[in-house]
């Protein structure tokens, strides 16, 4: 949802800004721009299209001179993608240049007010008001002007600001949107995410809400809104730069699919000690764990799908009711949560606006909130009562794969842990689930070996108009993710349905040759799912079955089959998701789609 970079140092800013933006392209990619301070003032270069268009236009940045600058890659919210709506935005006087990630919710009111004062606007964006307001309030002290602007704007923002009057400072502000400061030698940086600056520095400070940073070549000072200097604690990033690069794969998505065994291993193994699951990070006492009367899971997109799978697992093992809510719905429906509820927020980025707000709403109502998050120090992590990090490493592909898998593994752990703490399973069952959990990385590794059959089926169906995914119970929960993965990267219309529900309306869409993916890993419901598959087959559908190795019965119904290794039934989504991710990937590849950056999407959704 827009990416920001900024540089101040002794090198040329533009090549770094373009390179940093390239690494942030997953956050939005409908237009891009940079502003660099030089002798002639602030040079702004921006254009509709990918970073490459900008980079070609600027000959890799060599055309723009100067060692202080800001850059932006956009995912449009206010104002369609166009040259003029691209960031940076300038104040009318040309004194301030601003890049912004987020939404200024009261921008219309502010714009009207500024227009009454005689300011004229050139773009349709909400961001432009920030540039004009800075000019309006600037009376010689930039910090004062920034504080006044922040006090006026409502909404969420990460801002990078430079001013013509101050060639030696880069300013940064954040509220409800990520922004990091990278600390270098004789140079410093800002960025929306670590990969943009990792080649330059590993010493990072993650800005907190309502902090303002004054960044110079040799120093960084952080202020609060009362203009008091506040201490800040940088941390050292120890993951390898290769983690944020393709490493020989054609796409990040495929690389991240292949990384799943390790990611799951990294997530579960530090938390299993002497055969016991230790989740101290939840920050909950045994009394609290026993007091909760229900669990509410809030999340968006694929993270929500993890929640749907978890409902089956937690209810089955820990015998506690679980509600799964789309975070965007939870926030506004006057939810029934209080101090007897445990709320679990799931988010890869830790910055999803709706999930963050749902978390805040739950806390206001007295609930304890724990989060399952991939990005260390992100807003959701910081605001939760306890945080369980998934150690998936950076996920660059917009379509999530390894984050989904690690979230699933983390939720299984929570389920087993709760079951034990609440005395719902005996020692033998506990040991069984823990050892099944530990088998997952190698089973996922095996599931990844069956790529050829997935490629073959993809080659037969990549021209499909519409593909359905059906399943029962936990297979249904997984079908949601299979369907989303396919549609988001291949642009093939797809729907996921509880297998028993199809005949209540949607079956009318089945035509000759429609592909229906029947997920059937759940043994006790296998025959029922097959009956539903037959119902659509008799109406012309082609059936792609997915089941466990050795189950030959599926061939009676299915035209093609994806087999996956067998594991504890409750954990089967971790294995069954593998061919579904690969299926989406190969179909998108055959359709020549932009796999890592599908149209209209952005990796981190920091607006409502």
> Which two structure tokens, joined as six digits, stand for 146?
């920034």
- Among residues 5 and 602, whose Cβ is nearest to ligand F6R? 602
CB of 502 to ligand F6R, least distance (A): 24
451: exposed, middle or buried (C-beta count within 10 Å: 0-12, 13-18, 19+)? middle
Q: Decide if residue 147 touches ligand F6R (CB under 6 A).
A: no
Q: Which residue's Cβ lies closest to ligand F6R?
A: 301
**How far is C-alpha 169 from the geometric centre of its chain's CA atoms?**
31
Q: Which of 101, 348, 514, 548 binds ligand F6R (CB under 6 A)?
A: 348
**What CA–CA distance (Å, rounded) separates 189 from 69?**
10
Q: How far is Cα 157 from Cα 129, in angstroms, rounded to an integer?
A: 13
- Which of 285, 354, 298 shows the shortest CA–CA distance to 325? 298
Minimum distance, C-beta of residue 226 to ligand F6R, in the bound complex (Å): 32
Can residue 86 be called a binding residue for ligand F6R (CB under 6 A)?
no
Shortest Å distance, C-beta 305 to ligand F6R? 8
Considering the candidates 2, 163, 300, 542, report the single residue annotated as catalytic: 2
Q: Is there binding between residue 3 and ligand F6R (CB under 6 A)?
A: no
Binding ligand F6R (rule: CB under 6 A), the pick from 198, 516, 544, 605 is 605
Within a 10 A sphere around the Cβ of 459, how many other Cβ atoms?
12
Which of 95, 267, 303, 529 touches ligand F6R (CB under 6 A)?
Answer: 303
Is-catalytic flag, 465?
no
**Applying CB under 6 A, which part among 51-59, 344-352, 384-392, 444-452 lies near ligand F6R?**
344-352
603 is an active site residue: yes
Q: Which H or E run includes 20?
A: helix 13-23
* Cβ distance to ligand F6R smaller for residue 90 or 413: 413
| Binding test (CB under 6 A) with ligand F6R, winner from 300, 418, 522, 589 | 300
Instruction: Note whether 332 and 284 are within 8 A (CB).
Output: no
The correct pick among 9, 28, 102, 301 for binding ligand F6R (CB under 6 A) is: 301
* Nearest distance in Å: CB 608, ligand F6R: 12
- Rounded distance between C-alpha atoms, residue 150 and residue 143, angstroms: 11
Please give the structure tokens belonging to residue 600: 């209209």
Least CB distance to ligand F6R at residue 174 (A): 17
Q: Which two tokens stand for residue 264?
A: 């799951």
Task: Give me the DSSP letters along 146-166.
Answer: HHHHHHH--EEEEEEEEETTE
> How far is it, in rounded angstroms, from Cα 408 to Cα 302?
10
Among 399, 470, 486, 607, binds ligand F6R (CB under 6 A): 399
Residue 352 binds to ligand F6R (criterion: CB under 6 A):
yes
Distance CA 521, CA 257 (A): 21
- Which candidate, 480, 552, 267, 564, places its Cα nearest to that of 393? 267
Distance of CA 113 to the CA centre of its chain: 36
* Least distance between ligand F6R and beta carbon 1 (Å): 9
What residues contact 552, with CB distance under 8 A and at least 6 apart? Answer: none
Over the window 477 to 516, marking each residue x when it contacts ligand F6R by CB under 6 A and - when it does not, the resulting string is -------x---x----------------------------
For ligand F6R, give the closer residue by CB, 309 or 605.
605
CB of 61 to ligand F6R, least distance (A): 30
Decide the pairing of beta strands 294-299 and 322-326. Answer: parallel
355 touches ligand F6R (CB under 6 A): yes
Residue 491 main-chain phi, psi, to 5 deg: 65, 20
Which one of residues 73, 192, 347, 548 is an interface residue with ligand F6R (CB under 6 A)?
347
- Considering the complex, state which of residue 367 and residue 489 has its C-beta at the smaller distance from ligand F6R: 489
Tokens of 463: 């021209």
Residues that bind ligand F6R (CB under 6 A): 300-303, 347-349, 352, 355, 399-400, 484, 488, 604-605
Catalytic residues: 2, 603
């Amino acid at each position: 949802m827009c990416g920001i970079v900024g540089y101040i140092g002794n090198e040329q800013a533009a090549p770094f800004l373009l390179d940093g933006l390239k690494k942030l392209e997953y956050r939005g990619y409908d237009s891009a721009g940079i502003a660099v301070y030089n002798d002639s003032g602030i040079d702004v270069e921006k254009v509709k299209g990918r970073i490459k268009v900008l980079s070609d236009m600027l000959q890799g940045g060599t055309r723009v001179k100067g060692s202080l600058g800001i850059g932006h890659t956009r995912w449009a919210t206010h104002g369609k993608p166009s040259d003029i709506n691209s960031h940076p935005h300038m104040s009318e006087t040309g004194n301030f240049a601003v890049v912004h990630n987020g939404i200024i919710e009261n921008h219309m009111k502010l714009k009207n007010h500024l227009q009454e004062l005689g300011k004229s606007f050139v773009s349709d964006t909400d961001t432009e008001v920030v540039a004009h307001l800075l000019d309006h309030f600037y009376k010689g002290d930039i910090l004062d002007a920034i504080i006044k602007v922040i006090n006026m704007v409502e909404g969420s923002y990460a801002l990078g600001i430079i001013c013509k009057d101050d060639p030696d400072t880069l300013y940064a502000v954040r509220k409800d949107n990520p922004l990091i400061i990278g600390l270098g030698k004789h140079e410093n940086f800002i960025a929306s995410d670590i990969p943009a600056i990792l080649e330059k520095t590993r010493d990072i400070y993650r800005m907190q809400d309502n902090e303002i940073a004054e960044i110079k070549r040799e120093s960084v000072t952080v202020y609060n809104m009362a203009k008091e200097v506040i201490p800040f604690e940088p941390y050292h990033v120890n993951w390898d730069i290769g983690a944020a690069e393709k490493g020989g794969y054609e796409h990040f998505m495929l690389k991240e699919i292949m990384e799943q065994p390790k990611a799951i291993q990294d997530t579960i193994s530090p938390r299993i000690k002497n055969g016991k699951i230790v989740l101290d990070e939840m920050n909950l006492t045994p009394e609290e764990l026993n007091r909760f009367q229900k669990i509410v899971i809030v999340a968006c997109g694929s993270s929500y799908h993890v929640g749907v799978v978890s409902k089956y697992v937690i209810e089955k093992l820990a015998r506690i009711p679980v509600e799964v809510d789309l975070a965007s719905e939870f926030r506004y429906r006057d939810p029934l949560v209080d101090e007897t509820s445990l709320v679990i927020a799931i988010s890869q980025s830790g910055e999803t606006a709706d999930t963050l707000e749902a978390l805040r709403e739950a806390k206001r109502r007295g609930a304890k909130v724990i989060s399952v998050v991939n990005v260390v120090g992100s807003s959701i992590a910081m605001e939760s009562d306890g945080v369980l990090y998934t150690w998936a490493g950076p996920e660059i592909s917009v379509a999530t794969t390894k984050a989904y898998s690690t979230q699933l593994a983390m939720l299984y752990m929570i389920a087993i842990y709760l079951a034990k703490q609440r005395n719902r399973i005996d020692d033998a069952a506990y040991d069984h689930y823990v050892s099944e959990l530990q088998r997952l990385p190698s089973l996922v590794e095996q599931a990844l070996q069956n790529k050829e059959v997935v490629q073959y089926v993809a080659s037969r169906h990549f021209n499909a108009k519409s593909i359905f995914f059906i399943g029962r119970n936990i297979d249904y929960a997984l079908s949601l993710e299979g369907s989303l993965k396919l549609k988001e990267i291949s642009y093939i219309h797809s729907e996921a349905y509880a297998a028993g529900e199809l005949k209540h309306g949607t079956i009318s869409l089945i035509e000759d040759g429609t592909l229906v993916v029947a997920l059937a890993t759940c043994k006790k419901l296998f025959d029922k799912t097959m009956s539903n598959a037959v119902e659509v087959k008799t109406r012309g559908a082609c059936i792609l079955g997915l089941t466990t190795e050795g189950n030959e019965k599926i061939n009676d119904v299915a035209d093609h089959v994806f087999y996956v290794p067998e594991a504890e039934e409750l954990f089967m989504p971790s294995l069954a998701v593998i061919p579904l991710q690969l299926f989406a990937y190969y179909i998108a590849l055959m359709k020549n789609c932009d796999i890592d950056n599908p149209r209209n999407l952005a990796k981190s959704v920091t607006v409502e």
